[in-house]
Amino acid sequence: MDNNNNNKNINNNESNNNKDNLCDIDDKNKIDDENVLYRLSLNPNKGGLQNVDKEKINKIIYEVSKGSAFFKNAKEKEKAHFEKIKEIKKKYLFLKNQPMEYEKQQMKNIMNKMESDRDLSQYIVHVDMDAFYASVEELDNPELKNKPMAVGSKSMLSTANYEARKYGVRSAMPGYIALKLCKNLIIVPTRFERYHELSHQIRNIIANYDPDYCPASIDEVYLNITNFLNDNPNYTPSKVTEELREEIYKQTRLTASAGIAPNICSDMNKPNGQTELKNCTDEILKFLKDLPIGKVSGIGKVAEKTLNELGIKTCGELKENMVYIKELFKPSSYQFLLSASLGLGRTKIENKWKRKSISVERTFSNTSEIQKLEDKLHEISCKLANDVKKENLKGKSVTLKLKTSSFEILTRCLTISKYIYQQEDLYKVGKKVKFIYIIFF
């Protein structure tokens, strides 16, 4: 009997354990996959419209993606990140149990110093075109208006109009997945020349308010309107920004959104809106207090998740935890996060951009034929030589980047003694980096 009972107990325990283990594995996989979805930037929570059925959208995206090599690769990366987070968490818990009195005082001093250096004299405006590519397509083809539409291809979308965003369609989403979310979605191909043309037009308008404006991308500009305000005392920052946006609309029939702030710029009121943050420390800190850290430019999916795992979700919480961040992160990350937590952005707009690299990359279907790879190398070296010639550049470091069929990215780099710029030389050096093929065969 005893034996039997014992056996039974053991059996029960074992089966319970097994069951628990299975549950754990199932749950863990489920959580992992959710994390992967989030990592893929397909989480509709971020940016865009709020009134989307997030659950439904995520489910569709998951069903389409889950078996793919792309998803598998993302999952591997997610696992690696999870390990890193575990380490950081461990250190964090340890630090949390320390008094850290000295460090806390030190952090207070650092913050006070930075606070007293805060420059509130400059009025910086960040102008951002609404769904730029999509809006340009609607402009040139009004029939597309009020219909769900995205710019790109079945493989990849650049932008979606607001009608399409209601279905969860987003930039950086493959078109074929977008079509599952919205079967009436119209996908139009990109026309970069046209976007550049309008971008140029928009920058000319902006130059009237600050000739030293700084383009941040094809559809985004930073400008300093302090001088303009001094020269035109009857204007307020809001009024300048309104007029500027109106002028853009008048001349291009495209809408822009803007953030006005002394040192932190945000696009809280999109589309076709603007938000002003007064040049006043209290208002800046109040704004930051509940601002999700992921909204800060420079904090992407990885950093956001790392911080979230430490229980830090807002800039206010970030500020409160800076003592620990200083110990847990690398100096430059710490410096960046410290500035972000205080809302210290740029107060100087500089547009002395100097190119540091130039590149060409092409994605092609899976192959392991050397000839095809060499043909590709030839193709990109031609395009690169062309671009290099246009800008009168030369270089002596050549990097070859390879994406495998499992979406792993490998780079191999070779630095040579003299500067080159001709296609033949680029191709030759590219071929020299051939041990990249060895990985294959």
Is there binding between residue 280 and DNA (CB under 7 A)? no
In the complex, least distance from residue 176 CB atom to DNA, rounded to whole angstroms:
4
Give the CA-trace dihedral at 290, 296, 302, 307, to 10 degrees. -30
Comparing CB distances to DNA, the nearer of 81 and 203 is 81
**Sequence-ordered strand ranges (E) for 131-195:** 149-152, 157-160, 186-188
**β 186-188/149-152 pair status:** parallel
Is there binding between residue 216 and DNA (CB under 7 A)? yes
In the complex, least distance from residue 20 CB atom to DNA, rounded to whole angstroms:
31
Is there binding between residue 357 and DNA (CB under 7 A)? yes
Alpha-carbon distance 339 to 333, whole Å?
10
Comparing CB distances to DNA, the nearer of 78 and 163 is 78
Encoding tokens for residue 304?
């956001």
Is there binding between residue 110 and DNA (CB under 7 A)? no
First to last CA, the chain: 64
Using the rule CB under 7 A, which residue among 139, 186, 285, 302 binds DNA?
Answer: 302
Residues 313-342 that bind DNA (CB under 7 A): 330-333
Is there binding between residue 392 and DNA (CB under 7 A)? no
In the complex, least distance from residue 150 CB atom to DNA, rounded to whole angstroms:
13
Using the rule CB under 7 A, which residue among 77, 166, 194, 434 binds DNA?
Answer: 77
Comparing CB distances to DNA, the nearer of 113 and 354 is 354
Is there binding between residue 56 and DNA (CB under 7 A)? no
Using the rule CB under 7 A, which residue among 52, 125, 181, 299 binds DNA?
Answer: 299
Using the rule CB under 7 A, which residue among 43, 65, 135, 341 binds DNA?
Answer: 65
Q: What's the sign of the alpha-carbon dihedral 236, 241, 246, 252? A: positive
Sheet holding 220-224, edge to edge: 214-217, 220-224, 124-129, 256-261, 274-276
Comparing CB distances to DNA, the nearer of 191 and 301 is 301
Choices 139-147, 167-175, 228-236, 238-246; region in contact with DNA by CB under 7 A: 167-175
Q: In this structure, what are the phi and psi dihedrals at residue 287, rounded to the nearest 5 degrees?
A: -65, -40
Residues 7-36 that bind DNA (CB under 7 A): none
Using the rule CB under 7 A, which residue among 130, 163, 304, 317 binds DNA?
Answer: 304
How many CA atoms within 13 Å lie on the side-chain side of 53?
A: 8
Alpha-carbon distance 36 to 136, whole Å?
33
**β 220-224/124-129 pair status:** antiparallel
Residues 233-262 that bind DNA (CB under 7 A): none
> Do 45 and 87 contact (CB within 8 A), yes or no?
no
Give the SS3 label for residue 84.
helix
Is there binding between residue 72 and DNA (CB under 7 A)? no
In the complex, least distance from residue 233 CB atom to DNA, rounded to whole angstroms:
32
Is there binding between residue 354 and DNA (CB under 7 A)? yes
Is there binding between residue 188 and DNA (CB under 7 A)? no
**β 149-152/157-160 pair status:** antiparallel
Comparing CB distances to DNA, the nearer of 228 and 264 is 264
- The per-residue b/e assignment along 379-393, b for 16 or more CB within 10 angstroms, e otherwise, is ebbebbbeebeeeee
Is there binding between residue 100 and DNA (CB under 7 A)? no
> Do 179 and 195 contact (CB within 8 A), yes or no?
no
Residues 147-166 that bind DNA (CB under 7 A): 154-156, 158
Active-site residue list: 220
Is there binding between residue 373 and DNA (CB under 7 A)? no
How many CA atoms within 13 Å lie on the side-chain side of 171?
A: 13
Alpha-carbon distance 364 to 369, whole Å?
12
Comparing CB distances to DNA, the nearer of 102 and 353 is 353
Is there binding between residue 63 and DNA (CB under 7 A)? no
Alpha-carbon distance 384 to 359, whole Å?
7
Encoding tokens for residue 181?
């979310």
Is there binding between residue 409 and DNA (CB under 7 A)? yes
Amino acid code (one letter) for 277: L
Using the rule CB under 7 A, which residue among 23, 49, 80, 280 binds DNA?
Answer: 80
User: DSSP secondary-structure letter at 377?
Assistant: H
Choices 101-109, 142-150, 247-255, 296-304; region in contact with DNA by CB under 7 A: 296-304
> Do 281 and 115 contact (CB within 8 A), yes or no?
yes
Choices 7-15, 24-32, 348-356, 370-378; region in contact with DNA by CB under 7 A: 348-356
Alpha-carbon distance 231 to 243, whole Å?
16
Is there binding between residue 189 and DNA (CB under 7 A)? no
> Do 351 and 215 contact (CB within 8 A), yes or no?
yes
Interacting residue ranges for DNA, rule: CB under 7 A: 40, 61, 64-65, 68, 70-71, 77, 80-81, 154-156, 158, 172-177, 216-220, 296-304, 330-333, 353-363, 365, 387, 396-397, 409-415
